[in-house]
Amino acid sequence: MMNSISAFEYITILISIILGLGITHILSSLVRLLHIPGVQSYWPHMIWVLLVLLLHIQEWFVLYELKDLKAWRMVTFLFVILYPINLFILANLLFPLNIDEENCAFKPFYFEHIQKISIFACTLVLLSVLHNVFLLNLGIATQVPQGVLLLVFIFLVLRPAAPYWVHKAIAVFLLTLSVASVVVSYDTWIIR
C-alpha cells in the first residue's frame, strides 16, 4: 500500500527546487570563475556570495519549522515561496550575466550592483520578520537583529557609493552576525 505525501512534503518540493537552483547557480558560477584566467575578485563581494549561499541552506533548514502546518492555503504558500524566489534572484544578481569573459573584475561589478542587491536583501529581511511573526508566532520584540540588518541594507540602498572601507566593514559585520547567529542558535536549529 502506498502512503500519500503530506501537504508539507508536497509544498516543499517546489520550494526545494527553487532553493536548489539558487545553490546550483552560485556554485556553478564559482567554478566557472576558477576557470577564467585573470579574474579579479573583491573580498566583500565574495562575502556576499558566501552569505547568500548560506541563506539558501538556512532557508531549506528553517522551512522544516512549518512541518506541523496541516492545511496550506494558496496565500500562505505564495508568501512562503517569496523568500526562496528572492534568494534565487539575489544569487543571480551576484554574478555577471556573461561570466565567461576574461579579465572579469568584481570590484566595479560589486559597486554597480550593490544597490540592487541591497534592495533584495531588504526584501529578505522584511519577509523574514513577517514569517517569524505570523507563521512562527514570534514576538516583534524578537526581531531586533532583523531591524539592524534592515537599517544596514537601507543604508546601502541609499548610499551605494559609500567609501570602500564602509562596504568592507559592512561585509565583515554581516559575516560576523551570520556566524554569531549560527553559534547562538546551535541548539535550536535541529531537525528531528
pLDDT of residue 104: 83
Higher pLDDT, 136 or 167: 167
Q: Is the dihedral of CA 18, 77, 71, 64 positive or negative?
A: positive
Q: Which domain holds residue 61?
A: 7-184
How does pLDDT run across 90-101, given as a tens digit for each residue?
Answer: 999 999 988 766
Among the residues of the chain, which ranges form H helices? 7-34, 43-62, 74-93, 106-130, 144-158, 164-184
pLDDT digit string, tens, across residues 82-92: 999 999 999 99
Structural domain includes residue 190: no
* 31 inside domain: yes
Q: Which amino acid appears at position 71 of this protein?
A: A
- What is the tally of structural domains in the chain? 1
Whole-structure pTM value:
0.93
Does residue 114 fall inside a structural domain? yes
Q: What is the pLDDT of residues 116-139, one digit of tens each?
A: 999 999 999 999 999 999 988 999
- If pLDDT is split at 50, 70 and 90, which confidence band does 185 have? confident
